[in-house]
Amino acid sequence: MANVAVIGAQWGDEGKGKIVDWLSARADVVVRFQGGHNAGHTLVIDGEVYKLSLLPSGVVRKGCKGVIGSGVVVDPTALLAEISRISEQGVDVTPDNLVIAENAALILPVHQELDAMREGAAEGVKIGTTKRGIGPAYEDKAGRRALRIIDLTDPETLPEKIENLLVHHNALRRGFGHDDVGAQSLYSMLRQVAPKITPFVRPVWRELDEAKRSGKRILFEGAQGVLLDVDHGTYPYVTSSNTVAGQAAAGAGVGPRAVGYVLGIVKAYTTRVGEGPFPTELHDEIGKRLGERGHEFGTVTGRQRRCGWFDASLVRQSLKISGVDGIALTKLDVLDGFDELKVCIGYKINGVDYDYLPAGADNQAAAEPIYETMEGWGGTSEKARSWADLPAAAVKYVRRIEELIETPVALVSTSPERDDVILMKDPFQD
């Protein structure tokens, strides 16, 4: 049996929730390894809808353990609110089914306030963040002034660490014309949440090593997508963490060989939330139709997603960067009824043809898609569970995507329901 890492291969929102849900039924441990509560996904189990942002998908399954790795930044207030919310849906979250890495960094109110100050400033690049403090929390982690989960277990050390953090943050706040934050308010908040968080805190690396040694199947659950990776995405319109498969090892606390099979989630068209380049974006009725049929609104923010044709060139690039073994192609059914479909196979930038998207922001903004046109299908692919259930043109579309992205399709999702899947390769099988 292989462990599996699941990553988004576009700009997030590829339908990872359903695929992770489908895979988590076969897993013993599910690990979140990066990001924070800025990325949400929806699970549907026995007709019950669960909307998760920070909690690993494993917590909603009996007998499965959820792990929040050190690569995640944790807002303790948001975490407790999420635990309370799913508890109302009948899911008991206890230290038996949730473990939080002791070395994970905390997101604090000052991080969220700084996020909002920057996005609201009259000058500077507007990234289109969720204003949940993710970026500033990662900045403090890299700057070695962050408070970490382990600090909650020793409240007596908090005042000095808070003062060190506020030396930086209050200087920034003054620059934006805001008042200083007092250390006491942060200290009081942390003292209040600490007893509720600390029972979940353990050395995650040891938990995962024991799981690996005992032959348990581990699912590494990524957030966002490769094109939002801080190194490899469309910078600066990216998230503040590494979203590629390589982060699964570092952000969980395991060696790279423990990750195993890498499954990239790929939507049958393209969407993006927030600012940044999007070569195949459609501003016409087709784009509107994709958004309406695909219910393209963010799980966390409710923001409407930008929609466009499938970008094979960009997906191929992200799959190679992450070493993806196979893809899960989602939302194929959204394309039902189109007379023709277009697939981007490259770009024209300032008169030059490219088969990849260059790293420069100016080149990315100027990229014009080069399209290949394919026949649509009049039948339905919705709820298909075998190739025989698909219209012939839909099969051709999937097979052509495989050729263009140079990666095999492991499974195809044909509706939001977890069992509406065409399986070619079980990622947990070596």
Q: What is the pLDDT of residues 128-144, one digit of tens each?
A: 677 889 999 999 999 99
Question: How do residues 72-83 score in pLDDT, each as one tens digit?
Answer: 999 999 999 999
CB atoms within 10 A of CB 418: 19
Phi and psi of 387, rounded to 5°? Answer: -60, -35
The pLDDT value given to residue 68: 97
Question: How do residues 193-246 score in pLDDT, each as one tens digit?
Answer: 999 999 999 999 999 999 999 999 999 999 999 999 999 999 999 999 999 999
The pLDDT value given to residue 44: 72
- How big is the chain, counted in residues? 430
Check residue 109 and give left, alpha or beta (phi > 0: left; psi -120 to 50: alpha): alpha
Per the residue annotation, which of 21, 37, 41, 420 is the catalytic one? 41
To the query of whether residue 362 is one of the catalytic residues in this protein, the response is no
To the query of whether residue 283 is one of the catalytic residues in this protein, the response is no
Cis-peptide, bond into residue 236, ω within 30° of zero: yes
Which residues, given as ranges, of the chain have pLDDT below 50? none
Question: How do residues 349-371 score in pLDDT, each as one tens digit?
Answer: 999 999 999 999 999 999 999 99
The pLDDT value given to residue 50: 83
CB atoms within 10 A of CB 66: 24
Per the residue annotation, which of 13, 151, 325, 420 is the catalytic one? 13
The pLDDT value given to residue 216: 95
The pLDDT value given to residue 124: 65
Contact 19, 413 (CB under 8 A): yes
